[in-house]
């Protein structure tokens, strides 16, 4: 070996070691910065939720005599349909996620998939934006499904879910205007074009590629075909109608004169805005404010309907989530079949290009 090269090798080793230490410190600093931002977002979300809930409670308190009269003459026969529609709304969304698992070539039955989905949904009542996905992913992992597949299918299911909600609003808004409601209902009409464009394969492909790069390949989802996306969006559409009908049932329970299309629009738009308000736990308060702003009812009555709807979903989530955790625990030894090449080919024949 040349003496000059031999003399330089310790120096190069020191430089390499120093560079590695500096890179490690940079990664650690970036991680701490990310944790601080996440913590502040959780705090901000909690503050927003408390402020929004406080506004709704204050309005109810100020108008309590009229609200109390409405509650005193409540037609309790409408409580059953309202709860049934709320439960059906949650179950349809669970089955939509199961359809995404099948599309990924993962053979599992709807009972197991629904149990993982419903158990994970309890995490949305915690501050932060990841607990639902993490809870669902962990329950699915115990059932034999890789975390990456669970996370990828969850994110894509959220996307198609929001698209279906936007399209329901795109129909309900103009329907409200045609029925003699406010003309601003026509502003929702473009959603019938814009929402499907957001999940068109040409728009999804770069988004999925970016997610793949950011997560180091852990979220490696295929780009679905347009026909498959239309089918999966179609699975979600009845869920949003059921959610709107649940809120409409509460207006009937309180004997309120309300436009069906406007109540459905308000309920679906409120739920979607609350879902997109990621730092706010379960969109608490945000959904209620949006519903009150859009429903066309007196403020106190609208707040009462919104809080009744929230309470019904909370009750449904708690009952179905607790049942799901029991079912998932008892069925944990059953493993979902791995996506073999033949299964993937069969399941994704209409999904992948």
Could you state, in order of their start, the residue ranges of all structural domains in the chain?
38-347
Residue 31 clears pLDDT 50, i.e. is over it: no
The whole-number pLDDT of residue 340 equals 42
pLDDT value, residue 81: 94
Least confident of 84-88, 123-127, 273-277, 334-338: 334-338
* pLDDT for residue 245 is more than 90: yes
Give CA angle at 122 (44, 285), nearest 5°. Answer: 40
Q: What does the pLDDT look like over 40-97, one tens digit per residue?
A: 555 555 555 555 556 556 655 655 555 566 666 678 889 999 999 999 999 999 999 8
For residues 188 and 288, give the distance between their C-alpha atoms in angstroms, rounded to a whole number. 20
C-alpha–C-alpha distance, residues 51 and 41, integer Å: 15
Cβ atoms of residues 146 and 213 within 8 Å: no
- pLDDT tens digits, one per residue of 182-191: 999 999 999 9
Q: What is the pLDDT of residue 25?
A: 52
Answer left, alpha or beta for residue 338, where phi above 0 means left and psi between -120 and 50 means alpha: beta
């Amino acid at each position: 070996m040349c003496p000059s090269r031999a003399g330089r090798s310790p120096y190069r080793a020191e430089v390499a070691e120093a560079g590695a230490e500096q890179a490690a410190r940079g990664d650690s600093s970036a991680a701490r910065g990310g944790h601080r931002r996440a913590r502040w977002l959780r705090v901000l979300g909690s503050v927003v939720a408390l402020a929004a809930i406080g506004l709704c409670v204050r309005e109810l308190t100020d108008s309590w005599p009229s609200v109390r009269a409405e509650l005193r003459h409540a037609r309790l026969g409408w409580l059953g349909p309202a709860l049934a529609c709320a439960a059906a709304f949650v179950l349809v969304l669970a089955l939509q996620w199961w359809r995404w698992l099948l599309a990924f070539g993962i053979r599992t039955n709807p009972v197991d998939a629904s149990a993982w989905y419903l158990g994970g949904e309890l995490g949305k009542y915690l501050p932060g934006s990841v607990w639902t996905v993490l809870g669902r992913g962990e329950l699915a992992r115990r059932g034999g499904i890789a975390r990456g597949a669970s996370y990828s299918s969850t994110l894509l299911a959220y996307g198609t879910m929001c698209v279906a909600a936007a399209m329901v609003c795109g129909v309900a808004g103009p329907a409200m205007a045609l029925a003699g409601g406010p003309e601003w209902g026509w502003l929702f009409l473009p959603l019938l074009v814009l929402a499907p464009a957001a999940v068109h394969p040409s728009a999804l492909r770069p988004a999925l590629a970016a997610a793949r790069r950011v997560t180091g390949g852990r979220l490696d989802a295929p780009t679905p075909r347009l026909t498959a996306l239309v089918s999966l969006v179609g699975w979600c559409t009845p869920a949003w109608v059921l959610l709107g009908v649940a809120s409409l049932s509460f207006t009937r329970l309180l004997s309120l004169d309300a436009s069906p299309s406007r109540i459905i629009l308000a309920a679906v738009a409120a739920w979607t805005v609350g879902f997109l308000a990621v730092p706010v736990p379960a969109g608490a308060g945000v959904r209620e404010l949006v519903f009150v702003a859009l429903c066309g009812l007196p403020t106190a009555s609208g707040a009462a309907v919104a809080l009744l709807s929230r309470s019904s979903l909370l009750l449904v989530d708690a009952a179905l989530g607790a049942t799901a955790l029991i079912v998932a625990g008892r069925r944990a030894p059953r493993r979902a079949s791995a996506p073999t090449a033949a299964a993937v080919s069969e399941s994704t024949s209409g999904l992948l290009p």
